[in-house]
């Protein structure tokens, strides 16, 4: 694990430890004390002296990269070049160009890379999407209030902003259901050079549409509504079900582990991540034009 990220403490460390086909080996962090505290429940795991030392460790097969968004490309590519498979946190990159470079590096290295969109592994979420018939409109909402001014999600140089953080989920699920959008309309409220709230309208073939809304300045809001020919389908908390008995983080880790151990295609291929980044790029451009 690269970095002592909060998502690791809350979900991914436990998911790896509980997985049927993986083992937590080591964490590298610029704060060894924080890393040591996070690894306390996992006595077999160790803290390495640097990111470079982790990549050089022959006992490590897979790198989980939860670093800030602006470091996803650099350290994913460095890990791939070091002969490691990489599970990279969402959003996959800062933009589609970076995502393409990461996919090219994976192909050149012969190693697997996958974006960690854990919500797509939840059985209930998969069942929700699979049962839809002739969807007409998708409404995907994800917002909360980022209160700490030092939060990296509020820092432009780190790839902050609502669109990349929670908007990536809304765009992902809309594309999962409807395919690739044609025309895109969007608006954003910008503060300190980041989008605090972004709204987008995506147009698809057959006059189908999706409304996506992402915010870092709203009350907690996380909903998915799909209007289909046969009725209206709703799912609350479609993206953050890690407290569910069927832990999507563990299911994601095990799926990626299966791809690594058996050299099978990953569940979320790089081409899907590139396509998602292209749509995010288009929304960003439309919202600021």
Q: What is the pTM of this model?
A: 0.96
Mean pLDDT of the region 54-76: 98
90 as an active site residue: the answer is yes
Q: Taking a C-beta distance cutoff of 8 angstroms, is the pair 184, 279 a contact? A: yes
Mean pLDDT of 163-176: 98
Any idea where the domains of the chain sit in the sequence? 6-119+248-269, 123-240
The pLDDT of 177-197, averaged and rounded, is 97
CA distances to 153, 168, 229, 238, 263 from 226, rounded to whole Å, are 28, 18, 10, 12, 35
Q: Judge whether residue 243 has pLDDT over 70.
A: no
* Catalytic pick among 90, 107, 111, 147: 90
6-119+248-269: CATH topology: Rossmann fold (3.40.50)
pLDDT band at 244 (very low <50, low <70, confident <90, very high): confident
Q: Does domain 123-240 have CATH number 3.30.360.10?
A: yes
pLDDT at 252 over 70: yes
pLDDT band at 27 (very low <50, low <70, confident <90, very high): very high
The 10s digit of each residue's pLDDT in 126-143 is: 999 999 999 999 999 999
Block residue for tokens 């439309």 = 286
């Amino acid at each position: 694990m690269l970095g002592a990220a909060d998502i690791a403490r809350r979900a991914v460390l436990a998911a790896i430890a509980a997985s049927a086909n993986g083992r937590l080996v080591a964490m590298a962090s610029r704060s060894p004390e924080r890393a040591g505290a996070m690894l306390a429940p996992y006595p077999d795991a160790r803290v390495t002296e640097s990111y470079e030392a982790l990549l050089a460790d022959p006992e490590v097969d897979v790198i989980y990269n939860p670093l800030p968004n602006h470091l996803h490309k650099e350290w994913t590519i460095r890990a791939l070049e070091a002969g490691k498979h990489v599970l990279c946190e969402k959003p996959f990159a800062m933009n589609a160009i970076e995502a393409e470079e990461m996919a090219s590096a994976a192909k050149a290295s012969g190693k697997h890379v996958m974006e960690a969109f854990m919500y797509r592994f939840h059985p209930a979420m998969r069942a929700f999407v699979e049962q839809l018939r002739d969807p007409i409109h998708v409404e995907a909402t994800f917002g909360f209030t980022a209160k700490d001014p030092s939060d990296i999600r509020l820092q432009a140089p780190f790839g902050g902003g609502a669109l990349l953080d929670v908007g990536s989920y809304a765009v992902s699920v809309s594309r999962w259901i409807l395919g690739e959008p044609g025309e895109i309309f969007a608006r954003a409220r910008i503060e300190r050079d980041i989008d605090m709230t972004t709204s987008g309208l995506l147009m698809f073939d057959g006059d189908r549409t999706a409304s996506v809304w992402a915010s870092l300045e709203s009350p907690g809001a996380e909903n998915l509504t799909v209007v289909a020919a046969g009725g209206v389908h709703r799912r609350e908390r479609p993206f953050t079900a890690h407290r569910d008995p069927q832990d999507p983080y563990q299911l994601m880790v095990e799926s990626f582990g299966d791809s690594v151990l058996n050299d099978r295609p990953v569940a979320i291929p790089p081409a899907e991540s590139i396509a998602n980044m292209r749509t995010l790029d288009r929304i960003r451009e439309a919202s600021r034009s």
